[in-house]
Chains A and B, each alone.
Chain A
Amino acid sequence: MDSLIGFLNGLATAVTPEYLLAAFLGAVLGTLVGVLPGIGPVAGAALILPLTFAYDPAFGIIMIAGIYLGAQYGGSTTSVLLNIPGDTSAIVATFDGHQMAKKGRAGPALTIMAIGSFIASTIGLVLLITSASTFAKFALEFGPAEFFAITAGGLILLSRIAGGSLASGLLPMILGVAMATVGREAATSFSRFTFGNLDLQLGLNIATVAVGLYGISELIAMLENKHRDAKPMRIGFRDLAPSKEEWRRSVPPWIRGSFIGFLFGLLPISAATMSTFTSYRVEKAVSKHRAELGTGAVEGIAGPEAANNSAAISAMIPVLILGIPFSATLALMISAMIAQGIQPGPLILTQRPDLFWSVIAAIVVANVMLLALNLPLVGVWVKVLQIPRHILIPAIILIAVIGSFSVQYNMIDVYLILVVGLLGYILKKLEFSLASLLVGLVLGPLIEKYFMQSMFISRGDISYFVSTPITLVVWGIVGLALLLGILWPLIGKRLMRRSETMRELASLKMDDAE
């Protein structure tokens, strides 16, 4: 009941002109960065993040949330029209979405995805509103040891899952954590790794690092992309309507995808991407039309798209209630909150319920706006795809430089973009996970804080870190994930060798028989 009243109060705040504008700007910019291939949601959010610092906390956070959701909507448009996903969470949309487009059903595919996204976000929001207080009460029981386990353990798990091989996730993660130690230490003001440079005292700014890491490396990827001159097909408003059969077939995958996505959003994994693949597999297993999947089946876009958007909503729970982001865009949202003087965590619901509920309500508003923006304006988004890169690239760099400089009015942030951009490019080429670095940079100071608190409380007793059931469970899972990461290649190699030997034996027997 408290949640409902809180939400209604939040809704009243969210529909004030100022916050409506924030949600609208966020939704438009988010769809824009989602639609543009090469400019992902992280780069987009990072470009805009510094500019939000000029406004009040709710305005900035609502804008970032709008970008986050808008990018989920927009990212799949290029998957369908060009077979190029705007983001990793839109990869699955290429499987059947582009096949539908090839059959002349691009319009209905986009409609099913937009409506599915709206339904999934709404289901996700209802689940979030009903469960937020419970999660917050549960989180109130947490002490430094639990928070250390969740932040450090969650980061290791994320890097393990998001990064491919063991080292691909762990190296960027530790780079991010190490970069977070640059600047004045919080408790003693001791300068660390500043090399006497006063400009580095405040540490490395996350928005700057994100722009360099994602923005520069994605722009270079855009220049390297051999499909950069691909032209999208034209779609008119009249081409958008799905058939009765397509509507009917979309409903069950929408609902299944919404629940799958919600569950995934709560976990310390790349929720939006992994939920889309899981939803696709589920559809392949349970759908009546599973044989058609991969050839342009409606189920192949309805389920994953719903999962993707529902995960985007439920991923807000660990962000707002635990203060822990499990994706790069959400890491930016946390940094926006911290920059605005708000410490996300279990106390946010009791200390700043107005902010919490106005953000949630604004997401509802942004959701409605996104539906209104995406369908009627599909022709506009297709036109956006046609902006030549010789206009797009300098414009993005100019905005990135202005945005980064405006954070601290310091040229060091601008130079940092170039250095981190080079690092991001190398990491990307060598197939390391960039998300682990950014989340590591955001979580690094939090992990250190909980580490220091735990050491103070326990008087240096290391066993304090595994003194409660929650910590034991978290570290158990982390240990298992790391162990599997080390053992799996060896097991896989042995299994492969065994199957090769069996095959050779079988072929020898065949030869003998002949």
Chain B
Amino acid sequence: MSDSQPHRLPDAAGPSPVPAEGAEADVTPDQAPPDGGDRGKILFRVDQLRLARIIFGIVSLGVSIAYLVGALGMPQGTGAQPGPGMWPSAVGAAWVIISLVVIAEAAFTRQVSGSLDLPVGIYARDVIVFSVATVAYVLLLPILGQYAAGSLYCVALVKFLSRLPWWRAILYGLLLAISISWIFLNLLQVHLPEGIVPQLLGF
């Protein structure tokens, strides 16, 4: 099973292959400036997805070089007695080559092409709310403990991802967080950070 292959259905979720508004659209020969470059000859046709992959490839190349340098700094051993650095060095070298393949593939072929399906409007707002709330929950967890941090998180998400009034958001959020936390912490005896604040308050 391929569990991750991005799938697009004509009728269901999925972006249109047409570049989004404001996107850097493909330059076609008839759109090229008449006096531009080599008489309008197109050297690169870079769309959003290809540009993003070139940037990602460059970042990956930088990280892979750092990884390779780190790996080469480890004991390499010999062919007959390989050291702990030999395998990571091989992996690092392969990573550098693959990063170059990513860049070359995006720059010179149309294997992967199209617009970036980024959320806009209410969808973008929901993604931002989710991301900020989740990061805040994880950062607050060791400070406030699971019950308090989880409750704040659930109330925030219930409120901002729905149109419920505050009192119902608080009720649902608290019920959700307390029941899940109780099942795992008290019933299944899973340990979680108790939190500095609850300890200080003597809970």
Chain A residues proximal to chain B, CB less than 8 Å: 40-42, 51, 54, 72, 82-85, 87-89, 91, 94, 98, 162-168, 170-171, 174-175, 177-178, 181, 185, 187-188, 190, 192-193, 214, 216, 219-221, 223-227, 270-274, 311-312, 315, 327-329, 388-391, 393-395, 397-399, 401-402, 405-406, 409, 411, 414-415, 417-418, 426, 428-431, 433-435, 438, 448, 451-452, 455-456, 459-462, 489, 493
Contacts and interface: CB of A to CB of B under 8 A. Distances in A.
A117 B74 CA distance: 51
B27 interface: no
A243 B91 CA distance: 57
A311 B190 CA distance: 35
A87 B1 contact: yes
Contact of A452 (B71, B87, B91, B142): B87
A296 to B, nearest CB: 14
A435 B56 contact: no
Nearest to B150: A398
Contacts of B119: 223-224
Given A223-B130, A406-B190, A428-B6, A456 B80 contact: yes
Contacts of A273: 1-2, 5
Interface residues of B, number: 86
Nearest to A444: B91
A397 B137 contact: yes
**Majority SS at the chain B contact face:** helix
Contacts of A42: 3-4
B162 interface: yes
Contacts of A274: 2
A178 B1 contact: no
Contact of A448 (B87, B101, B176): B87
Contacts of B127: 220, 223-224
Contacts of A312: 1
Interface of B: 1-7, 9, 11-13, 49, 52-53, 56-57, 60, 64, 67, 70-71, 74-75, 78-88, 90-92, 94-95, 98-99, 101-102, 105-106, 109-112, 116-119, 123, 126-127, 130-131, 134-135, 137-138, 141-142, 146, 150, 153-154, 157-158, 161-162, 164, 172-173, 176-177, 180-181, 184-185, 188, 190-193
Contact of A418 (B3, B53, B134, B176): B134
Contacts of B111: 164-167, 489
